[in-house]
Chain A
Amino acid sequence: MYEGVVQDLIDELGRLPGVGPKSAQRIAFHILQADPVDVRRLAFALQQVKEKVRFCSVCGNVAESEQCRVCLDPRRDLAVICVVEESKDVVAIERTREFRGRYHVLGGAISPIEGVGPDDLRIRELMTRLADGTVTELILATDPNLEGEATATYLARLCKPMGLKVTRLASGLPVGGDLEYADEVTLGRAFEGRRLLDV
């Protein structure tokens, strides 16, 4: 145990995801030895993020105003929505520069064992967005793990009567790797999702 304020900092840092007691201590001492200007900048950034950042009223993505940057962009295709679990997934997909539509951030995935059901996610908001017929395609980009798949299955079933084109991101082989090293689950899914080569 350390003196009051140092221990307080260690305790606070230790509550962050992925930070154990040892790491918390290491970060705390790093901060103690750091330049006061750097520390002030960190404190300011922390404060700003809580004060300024909100959630987009349309898609649920992090935003600095009423709507996020993607929803405010007039060049984005209004007919396509890509459904993701978290805001960080929006960032990952934006990096691909492949997608020109808009997003919908669910805020997690269905996990009955953790007590997270469809009603705990932003699914009702999604249905509202789909209601007026502007959107014609829904891309389900939930995580390629069991909860993500279950969430995609649930959404696909829910949207079926709406006559939308519903697609799921392909699962498959990592680019740049050797086929022989792929695990059988991933390789099996790559087979399932194979596409026609039209040359």
Chain B
Amino acid sequence: MSRTARVKSTTAPVRVHGCVPAAAAAATAVLSVRYGTMGTTMSLFRDDGIVLRTQKIGEADRIITFLTRQHGKVRAVARGVRRTKSKFGARLEPFSHVDIQFFSRGSELVGRTLPLCTQVETIAPYGARIVDDYTRYTAGTAMLETAERFAENEGQPAVQQYLLLVGGLRTLADGTHQSHLVLDAFLLRSLAVNGYGASFTDCARCGLPGPNRFFSLQAGGVLCGDCRVPGSAVPSPETLVLLGALLSGDWQTADACEPRYWREGSGLVAAYLQWHLERGIRSMRYVEK
């Protein structure tokens, strides 16, 4: 008998705690069961998440890293998914948006041992649309890695980062905007929700209304003539307009921009990201523009 079945069929007292708002796509129902002489607690968790990466372990298993709606980054073991007959191997590929049931050997989802994925349902299989286009794929991979980096603490909710990723992947899979613009918008907004929001109009120091000419990574955006610091860059005004548009979601402006401003903008975004992250994002190197 599988462990899940044992939890379900037990006659031991069952505690069901906290349900999240019904509006959420997948409500977490935590089911904790205490059984056995040692009083071991085993729990079932339900959450939805995006598959960030998968790693092979053992003969046919994988460790799947998710960014979940309610538990932030979660790593879990998926048994037997590399076998072609696996029930949910196809659902647990990077970029997949899935509804997962986790089985944990404790009262917490993230604990001493990795939880198991016991059930997986597809919400949206973004992977197929993304992998069809290599440029899109490289942009998407950089998004996954960035999301993982910003949600580094396992089990700690990162709801805004999660929502950004879901929205970003949906836009990327739609193919309605250039992949590199979708990536840059995602990077700027990820920086913003993690406390590194950049200003592209008003002076980042004194707040002087824009447009302002000078750009400084340390200062967190543009600076006015009085606040400028040595080493400030002077990007094209059009590039600053583009970056502001990407941050605010003004696609019309971003799409209409000339390619040379796209390139300059991407360079600034990459530098800004690098400035705030200790280690670089590995997959940025492979992003095609």
B138 and A112 contact, CB distance less than 8 A: yes
One digit per residue, 1 when the CB lies within 8 angstroms of any chain A CB and 0 when it does not, for chain B 103-127 equals 0000000000000000000100101
Residues on A lying within 8 angstroms of B by beta carbon are 18, 20, 110, 112-115, 117, 145-146, 149-150, 153-154, 157, 174, 177, 181, 183-186, 188-189
Residues of B within 8 A of A153 (CB): 131-134, 137
B94 at the interface (CB under 8 A from A): yes
B93 to A: closest C-beta gap in Å = 5
Contact size range, B: 20 to 34
CA distance A31 to B85 in the complex (A): 33
Residues on B lying within 8 angstroms of A by beta carbon are 53, 57-59, 84-85, 87-91, 93-96, 122, 125, 127-128, 131-134, 137-138, 141-142, 144-145, 282-283, 285-287
30 A-B residue pairings within 8 Å (CB atoms): A20-B58, A110-B286, A112-B138, A112-B141, A112-B282, A113-B144, A113-B145, A113-B283, A114-B282, A145-B93, A146-B95, A146-B131, A149-B131, A150-B131, A150-B134, A153-B131, A153-B132, A153-B137, A174-B85, A177-B85, A181-B87, A183-B90, A183-B91, A183-B122, A184-B125, A185-B90, A185-B93, A185-B128, A186-B90, A189-B128
CA distance A110 to B89 in the complex (A): 20
Of B87, B131, B287, the most chain A CB neighbours within 10 A belong to B131
Residues of B within 8 A of A117 (CB): 285-286
Residues of A within 8 A of B128 (CB): 185, 188-189
Partner of B134, one of A114, A157, A188: A157
CA distance A188 to B89 in the complex (A): 14
